[in-house]
Structure 1
Amino acid sequence: MIIKKSPAEIEAMREAGRVSAKVLREVGALIKPGVTTAELDEFAEALIRLEGGIPAFKGYGGFPGSICASVNDQIVHGIPSRKVVLRDGDIISIDTGAIVDGWVGDNAWTYAVGKVSPEKRRLLEVTEQSLWAGLDAARPGNRLGDIGHAVQSVAEAAGFGVVREYVGHGIGRDMHEDPNVPNYGRRHTGVRLEPGMVLAIEPMVNAGTHKTRQMPDGWLVCTRDGRPSAHFEKTVAITEDGPVILTTEEGHRRPV
């Protein structure tokens, strides 16, 4: 069941979005060679709580961290660890969210650690472009397939693989609500998009095959071929005036 939000509820979600966006940005600013993913996680949790929020991920389904930290060929759901030390040339996806007044904000970004290879740099650029294309398609009258098609078109035109098994989702008082939002699809198919729907759009794009493998810890997902992966995500409200990004901060906004 898709739970549509009123304009007042969408406005209330902005604070959870702001906190989530600030934490993601400030965690990103700490990324450099020698930092552990556990250090990033501890900083994120402290900042979420300082801003009046609750970490949305910590304890969710038993997940132990306040962020997911996924390095190089790791696609999503990497558990922060003191054993994972970032190195020059890595890329790292940080996925985090905050609950404020019962509303959830969810966002992700993939960062370069030091100087990365041309392949990784292009992967980051294309995956971000695919995110903006998907967000731009989140308009009343379009359908879910239009979002997936927009993401897929950008990623596959660059020769990259779009992950199938893991998708975006509705979001509100629960982190995962209906509908699922695939990053692939055909135009003019699927659920019609209507004002009041709030979605987490999150392309996961691999440099090689779209195929994945689940790791033994039950959380971490990696690329099947060992090539790098990138993950970008924003929470967006569909309104009469078009898409409105909720995981953003004043002074750090980029229009769709």
Structure 2
Amino acid sequence: MKDTPIPIPITPWRYSILKPKPSPPERLFLVEPPHGCNYFPDRRASTLFVDPRYPKDRRLQTFLVENGFRRSGEHLYRPHCRNCRACVPVRIPVAEFQPRRSQRRVWRKNRDLTSRILSPKFRDEHFQLYYRYLDARHPEGGMANPTPAQYLDFLTADWVEAMFVEFRLGDRLLGVGVLDCLDNGLSAVYTFFDPDYPERSLGVYAILWSIHEARRVNLDWLYLGYWIETLPRMCYKNEYRPQERFWEGKWEKASF
């Protein structure tokens, strides 16, 4: 089945942002046909994609992320399920963030790590860590046994302004965080880390580092992707407070 193009109603000021030159397409979005849901086996899912032919840049990505979209590879997308609204975008106002006691412990525990920001390109050392991470943490998922091409297709895009952040213990690579740079914040795309160091809580540390970095460069938000209330593996996102959730077309402070 082919993706179905749909029109998007946009106000004049939004259209001035999105309008490409010299010949704008009539439609910006494509709807993926219903398919099995990755989170709920008994449900059908559908996704709204930005037309791959549409020119993309940081300004457009910022606007769309502010409206609940995410990036995967070259694609900007948002869940578009007919009878389900379980996937809720979340973001952290970095200036207001207050680490919890357990998060402060993680930060102190990893004081011996060094971080380095790199350009988004293939590095074999990163790929080998990514492969080990998926094999240990997600062996049954559709991402298992990736190829280098699949790795790049998932994490990078020709148009995006992204960075790969290394975390090292001496010379040993312990983790990599992939972040997109937006006009008003950072968007966490993916983090992978050495599964042999569970005591370091490297996933938590990567989020804390990203909050600190966004604050350091005077950005407003860290976007953490989608949160699903009933899914245990998403519960960790509740630990970063205060936070806002995108619901019914607007961002609202989350209550706990």
TM-score, normalised relative to structure 2: 0.26
TM-score, normalised relative to structure 1: 0.26
